[in-house]
Amino acid sequence: MVSELDSGGNVLNELASAGGAEVQANGEVRANDAAAGADGSETQEKAGKNGPEASQTTRLHRPPILSMTPEELGQWLEARGEPRYRLRQVLHWIFTQPVESFDQMTDIPKTLRRELARAFRMWTTRVLEHLKAEDGTEKLLLRLMDGQTVECVLLRDDKGHRTACISTQVGCAMQCAFCASGLGGFVRNLSAFEILEQLLHLKRLLPGKERLTHIVVMGMGEPLVNLKNLLKALELATSTAGLGISGRRVTISTVGIPPAIDRLAESGKPYHLAISLHAPTDALRNRLVPANEKIGIRAIMAAADRYFAKTGRRVTFEYVLLAGVNDRPEHATALANLLRNRTALVNLIPYNPVPGLNFRTPSPARVHRFVEVLREAGLNVRVRFRKGVRIDAACGQLRRRLAGGSAEGVPCEQPKPEEISSEYSLPADSHPESSPQMEAPCSESELSQPQDASVRA
């Protein structure tokens, strides 16, 4: 256990140092002054006479109203002589029917609206670009107060699900070879209110009485590096006082940081855990996910086993299929050996091409054969539809395109695909040790062909 914690801590320190940040004792990464914001400062100011402290306000005279918990906002209102029901009214205009300004809170007295506007900011982000695809996917590029940008996506399906995909960092330090988010390096963590505002912007895209039903934390950044702020944001997102989304409909995706996975398990929240594995061996994963060099698949699998034992929640293993790199039958066999006897779901993701990277999407026949090998081994497998392909829906693509192919931060050297592909010949027994879990795999879902989408105004 100590070696696994040390391993996770070492890689966090190294990656954070590369991205202009420092690691706290609890494993959180805090951006240093050079990366905290455009003016290089991070202040804490009072939200009014009776308000709480708000972090990352970047010299705000008015802190964001989302920096307050409902309890703190209730105290603020009570101190001004407002009746108890006033809190419910204000929260309605923040979460149930998000408005652009306090002035639009029509059932609130004008005097209180003015006082709220003097004390708080309604929004700290604004929509810089809004793209739509024919399959219903919508993507927003948001500008933050320090001039940085992040992305969030609204996903729709024919079951009525309305899923918000959100970011937790500006940039990313994990340096995954095939991902657009890390190409500009790591800049800083998002605050809890910046994470929440993504959800509210996406909610505003829904017509009528539609509501967000699911959250996937699969946007820009490594969520478990910013776990404290993420959990604070999700607390409101899943609260009846907030967005009221069931915690069982929240999925957090990570490259695999064992100490942070353990903290997530200890939080007692019913969130789903998804581990971005992408390779069945350390030799290949070290090239695709450089953070793995200081962690290792064995430590990640042990943390996943502990998460399942603690929460009873099945762990999903995400695997981006890269043509000629990790998509051969022998890779599927090694992955099946790694996950054998585990209660797990394999989520296969045919690669979504990123301009500037030479990886390719495998053919449908290659994807189908990979699935066959896994299912013949008794694994539960799904193939994720590719949504919003023509609106740069994969995380980091839109931000990178609008920045002219680059973003501020520390650049990450990318391994060449031809170097990585040399790893695809795997011996049959080339896999880390696996450990059993009690439950049998869940029922399989049908393999579907990737869907394309085109842009509409």
The ranges assigned to domains in the chain are: 41-119, 126-452
Q: Which two tokens stand for residue 289?
A: 């996910």
Residue-level pLDDT at 354: 81
Residue-level pLDDT at 229: 98
Give the three-class secondary structure for 407: coil
Give the three-class secondary structure for 147: coil
Domain 41-119, second-level architecture? Orthogonal Bundle (1.10)
What single-letter DSSP state applies at residue 279? -
50 exposure class (CB count in 10 Å sphere: 0-12, 13-18, 19+): middle
Residues contacting 61, CB < 8 A, separation 6+: 45
Q: Distance between CA 6 and CA 315 in Å, rounded?
A: 23
Residue-level pLDDT at 387: 58
pTM value > 0.75: yes
Q: Distance between CA 412 and CA 18 in Å, rounded?
A: 9
Residues contacting 148, CB < 8 A, separation 6+: 37, 38, 170, 187, 188, 408
Q: Distance between CA 255 and CA 46 in Å, rounded?
A: 36
Q: Are strands 21-23 and 29-31 parallel, antiparallel or unpaired?
A: antiparallel
Half-sphere exposure for 303 (CA within 13 Å, toward CB)? 30
Per run of 10 residues, the mean pLDDT along the chain (length 457 residues) is 37 45 43 36 34 40 94 98 98 97 97 97 97 93 96 94 97 89 86 98 94 97 98 98 97 98 97 98 96 97 98 97 97 98 96 86 96 97 71 53 47 35 34 31 29 32
Catalytic residue annotation: 151, 395
Residue-level pLDDT at 397: 56
Residues contacting 357, CB < 8 A, separation 6+: 177, 178, 180, 414, 417
Residue-level pLDDT at 389: 53
CATH code for residues 126-452: 3.20.20.70
Residue-level pLDDT at 181: 75
Q: Tell me how far apart the terminal alpha carbons of the chain are, to the nearest angstrom.
A: 53
Residue-level pLDDT at 10: 46
Q: Distance between CA 331 and CA 280 in Å, rounded?
A: 7
Residues found in the chain? 457
